[in-house]
Amino acid sequence: MNDPHKPPHILFLFSDTGGGHRSAAEAVIEAIQIEYGERVSTQMLDIFKEVLPRPLNMLPQWYPYMVRLPQAWGLGYRASNGPHRARLLTESSWPYVRRTMRRAIKRHPSSLIVSVHALANAPFLRALGRSRPPFITLVTDLVTTHALWYHPGVDLCLVPTEEARQRALRYHMRPEQVRVVGLPVANRFCQPRLDVAALRQRLGWPTDLPVAVLVGGGEGMGPLEETAQAIAGSGLHLALVIICGRNQGLKERLEAQAWPIPTHIYGFVREMPDFMRAADVLVTKAGPGTITEALNAGLPMILYSRLPGQEDGNVTYVVSQGAGVWAPSPTEIVIALRHWVQSPTARRQAAQTCLHLARPQAAREIAHILAEQVGVKP
């Protein structure tokens, strides 16, 4: 039972298994702190590392290796996707996870539970039983969302796009259960794009050339090296920024090369909001968090890879809306870059489309919804 003298407590269920689950939870927690301060307390609980028994608690460590087999990942995604198949998956695992689930619930009493991971919904709701706090799902995939996200027992399901809402309805959720709010990102990604020239001067980037930023996620995955070489050797008049993430070997190899165009090479960076606001084009994989951050920055995208299943719809969404293009090879990336370098009007139109699609207030809107659920007024 909650202590009436303590602020209401919100528990966020997440895991570091792709999909931006941690960053979405952190963005909402940041918004709660901005809007409500100490009137609401929050906590994050890693459902694999801190709750599930062995060997399931090793999944965050296995995940980077699992996604290196994209075809196998896509096959598993499609094979388990659907209300009946998803239910079979969760029910078959219940006898193995129920004790640790119930133990975690006792250790973490809360006024509200927010799940930002599809695999948390069914087992936690079952472990909570009938006498439970409100339970809200925050979907962190943009379009091709898995059936596991949509549990009929939740009090509310917050989705990032209308496409995700329609998918929820096809998976038998009631219309009043589902609300489109956007995908939350950190407040630093939601600031207006002001003096780009001054920002580039501070970063040491050219102010007289278009700038393309090439990223491969936090681990520096994907064909970054061959893509960078193709861009640099294309004869295009632009500057290139390469972000290698934690891939130190890649960073060292790139730094040892001679580049025919202005090229800036970084490892893991915390300045991505400034990088995005200072750039003209982003070359990236089709992760939901990065796409949302780019939309907020008004930054057109060239998408070069996607995780089969959950990220397929991200590509379709970006391309169909006119916010970017799909270019799954270095040659196609160069073709797309050439079009945008030689046609600034088309690039500016794509940038405006990004801003039109953006929902920079998503985290704060979600914070207001959660606060209302626990009885805290603005």
Q: How far apart are CA 14 and CA 120, in angstroms?
A: 8
| pLDDT tens profile 147-184 | 999 999 999 999 999 999 999 999 999 999 999 999 99
* Six token digits for residue 213: 């930023």
Same domain for 179 and 194, yes or no, is no
pTM: 0.93
Q: How far apart are CA 314 and CA 284, in angstroms?
A: 12
pLDDT band at 96 (very low <50, low <70, confident <90, very high): very high
Positive or negative, the Cα torsion across 24, 29, 34, 36? positive
**Stretch 246-272: mean pLDDT:** 94
Domain that holds residue 265: 188-357
Provide the pLDDT for residue 20: 86
Same domain for 257 and 322, yes or no, is yes
Q: How far apart are CA 147 and CA 126, in angstroms?
A: 17
Provide the pLDDT for residue 1: 47
Provide the pLDDT for residue 264: 97
Same domain for 227 and 298, yes or no, is yes
Distance spanning both ends of the chain, measured CA to CA: 25
Q: Which of 114, 106, 116, 152 is nearest to 135 (CA)?
A: 114
Are 8 and 40 in contact by the 8 Å Cβ rule? The answer is yes
Provide the pLDDT for residue 241: 98
Q: Which of 375, 376, 312, 373 is nearest to 154 (CA)?
A: 373
Same domain for 291 and 263, yes or no, is yes
Q: 141-159: string of b/e by CB count within 10 Å (b at 16+)? A: bbbbbbbbbbbeebebbbb
Mean pLDDT (the chain, rounded)? 93
* Six token digits for residue 261: 């165009």
Same domain for 364 and 269, yes or no, is no
Instruction: State the total domains in the chain.
Output: 2
β strands within 116-259, DSSP E: 135-138, 156-159, 178-180, 211-215, 239-243
Measured in whole angstroms, how far is the alpha carbon of residue 301 from the centre of its chain? 15
Same domain for 212 and 159, yes or no, is no
Query: Residue 128 pLDDT > 90, yes or no?
Result: yes
Same domain for 114 and 156, yes or no, is yes
**Stretch 299-306: mean pLDDT:** 96
Domain-located, residue 2? no
Q: 14-45: string of b/e by CB count within 10 Å (b at 16+)? A: bbbbbbbbbbbbbbbbbbbbebbeeebbbebb
Same domain for 169 and 197, yes or no, is no
Provide the pLDDT for residue 218: 61
pLDDT band at 2 (very low <50, low <70, confident <90, very high): low
Domain-located, residue 368? yes
| pLDDT tens profile 214-243 | 998 666 567 899 999 999 999 999 999 999
Provide the pLDDT for residue 216: 83
Are 117 and 47 in contact by the 8 Å Cβ rule? The answer is yes
Provide the pLDDT for residue 221: 67
Task: Give me the phi and psi of 265, to 5 degrees please.
Answer: -115, 130
Provide the pLDDT for residue 230: 96
